[in-house]
């Protein structure tokens, strides 16, 4: 017993080709694919309408939509829309992204059934994921699993996120203060903003604020 109808959402054709070939290789009858989010969602709706719904969606997270006006522009949006359309659809995320916050969000909030990182053995891990998901179990590949286990991950809360965002956008400390007061975000005194920046420098072990901005940016936290 196995899945018989699967949809692959992945924009780069080389990857798409590889994934589809792999799935067919696993003996899945119907493997269809889409290179755009909107397209994928449409297929899901149509299949449901004619009474032949997909059982599984294998989706990437980032899509190239530079040349399109699209409603759905990311894997997250696609998954959310798909789950609304067809709540019983199983979802496996297959992506290069290995950021704890993103993986956590997908598993906890979007309730995806598995997360597999593209990599040296991505396809093998994808195979394992499909088996587990078919058995109604959750699955994360070794890379994702280890990322999820990491303690003390340098993560930013909403406030710090906003603060650093403004800093990176060219706001001075007093301008940030004014902006926060205007938007009723507290704490908003110049002194507190200063203190928070200082604390962030501590936790990130940055000598200067420039370095802090650099670190946070290159860690993908902004």
Partner DNA sequence: TTTATTGCTGTGGTTTTCCGCAAGGGTTTG
Partner DNA sequence: CAAACCCTTGCGGAAAACCACAGCAATAAA
What is the rounded distance in angstroms from the CA atom of residue 41 to the CA atom of residue 68? 15
Cα–Cα nearest to 129, from 117, 116, 143 = 116
Residue 21 interacts with, from DNA, its own copies, none (CB under 5-8 Å by kind): its own copies
* Window of 50-58, 109-117, 189-197, 213-221 that interacts with DNA by CB under 7 A: 189-197
Q: Residue 208 interacts with its own copies (CB under 8 A)?
A: yes
Structure tokens at 81: 């829309």
What is the rounded distance in angstroms from the CA atom of residue 12 to the CA atom of residue 34? 10
Residue 145 interacts with, from its own copies, DNA, none (CB under 5-8 Å by kind): none
Residue 187 interacts with, from its own copies, DNA, none (CB under 5-8 Å by kind): DNA
Interface mask toward DNA for 56-85; x: CB under 7 A: ------------------------------
Partners of 62 in the beta sheet?
Answer: 74
Q: Which of 71, 153, 186, 203 binds DNA (CB under 7 A)?
A: 186
Q: Residue 208 interacts with DNA (CB under 7 A)?
A: yes
- Site residues for its own copies, 127-166, by CB under 8 A, read none
Q: Which of 48, 168, 190, 221 binds its own copies (CB under 8 A)?
A: 168
Question: Greatest CA separation found in the chain?
Answer: 64
Structure tokens at 194: 């200063």
Cβ pair 46, 5 in contact under 8 A: no
Q: Residue 122 interacts with its own copies (CB under 8 A)?
A: yes
Q: Residue 206 interacts with its own copies (CB under 8 A)?
A: yes
Residue nearer to DNA on the CB measure, 121 or 192: 192
Residue nearer to DNA on the CB measure, 172 or 183: 172
CB of 72 to DNA, least distance (A): 36
What is the rounded distance in angstroms from the CA atom of residue 40 to the CA atom of residue 8? 8
How crowded is residue 135: how many other Cβ atoms within 10 Å of its Cβ? 9
Q: Residue 192 interacts with DNA (CB under 7 A)?
A: yes
CA dihedral of residues 172, 174, 176, 178 (deg, nearest 10): -140
What is the rounded distance in angstroms from the CA atom of residue 97 to the CA atom of residue 77? 16
Q: Residue 197 interacts with DNA (CB under 7 A)?
A: yes
List the strands of the sheet with 56-59, edge to edge.
Answer: 30-34, 5-9, 56-59, 90-95, 114-117, 139-140
Q: Which residues bind DNA (CB under 7 A)?
A: 172-174, 186-192, 194-198, 201, 208-209
């Amino acid at each position: 017993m196995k899945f018989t109808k699967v949809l692959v959402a992945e924009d780069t054709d080389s990857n798409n080709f590889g994934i589809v070939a792999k799935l067919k290789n696993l003996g899945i009858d119907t493997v269809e694919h889409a290179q755009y989010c909107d397209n994928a969602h449409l297929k899901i709706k149509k299949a449901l309408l004619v009474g032949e719904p997909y059982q599984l969606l294998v989706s990437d997270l980032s899509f190239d939509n530079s040349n399109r006006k699209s409603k759905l522009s990311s894997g997250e949006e696609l998954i959310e829309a798909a789950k609304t359309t067809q709540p019983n659809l199983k979802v496996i995320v297959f992506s290069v992204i290995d950021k704890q916050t993103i993986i956590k969000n997908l598993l906890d909030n979007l309730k995806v059934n598995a997360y597999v990182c593209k990599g040296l053995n991505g396809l093998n891990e994808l195979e394992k994921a499909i088996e587990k998901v078919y058995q109604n179990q959750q699955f994360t590949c070794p890379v994702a699993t280890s990322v999820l286990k990491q303690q003390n991950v340098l993560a930013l809360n909403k406030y710090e996120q906003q603060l650093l965002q403004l800093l990176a956008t060219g706001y001075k400390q007093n301008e940030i203060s004014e902006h926060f007061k205007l938007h009723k975000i507290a704490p908003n005194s110049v002194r507190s903003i200063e203190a928070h920046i200082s604390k962030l420098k501590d936790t990130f072990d940055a000598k200067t604020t420039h370095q802090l901005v650099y670190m946070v940016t290159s860690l993908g936290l902004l």
